[in-house]
Amino acid sequence: MPGRPCENYLELAVTEIRDYGATSVQVCRRLRALLEGLLAALPDECGPALRAELGLLDDAVERAFADAPRRADARTADPQGVGGRSRQDAPPDASPSGEPGP
């Protein structure tokens, strides 16, 4: 049974999330992080489909946020969606909360 092209999986995975979550900064940030992570991890043949999805996300953000600061926030990839440093970006001596260790 042949596999499906990347476009089909991406459409299935992100279209509804993008369409219904486009007015949420957090959803946009998480979706961008997902797409950028996939772009880095998947074979080059998936690149055009991933870049197309990123373009659709950019278009949705442009329509959803009238003010530039919120648009900029929505265009910043963040796996947690809330801003700040993720655990992987925290210094090695930081506690799980992101605060410096003892």
- Provide DSSP, 18-65: HHHHTT-HHHHHHHHHHHHHHHHHS-GGGHHHHHHHHHHHHHHHHHH-
Q: pLDDT of 61-76, one tens digit each?
A: 999 999 999 999 999 9
Q: pLDDT of 5-62, one tens digit each?
A: 889 999 999 999 999 999 999 999 999 999 999 999 999 999 999 999 999 999 999 9
Specify the pTM.
0.77
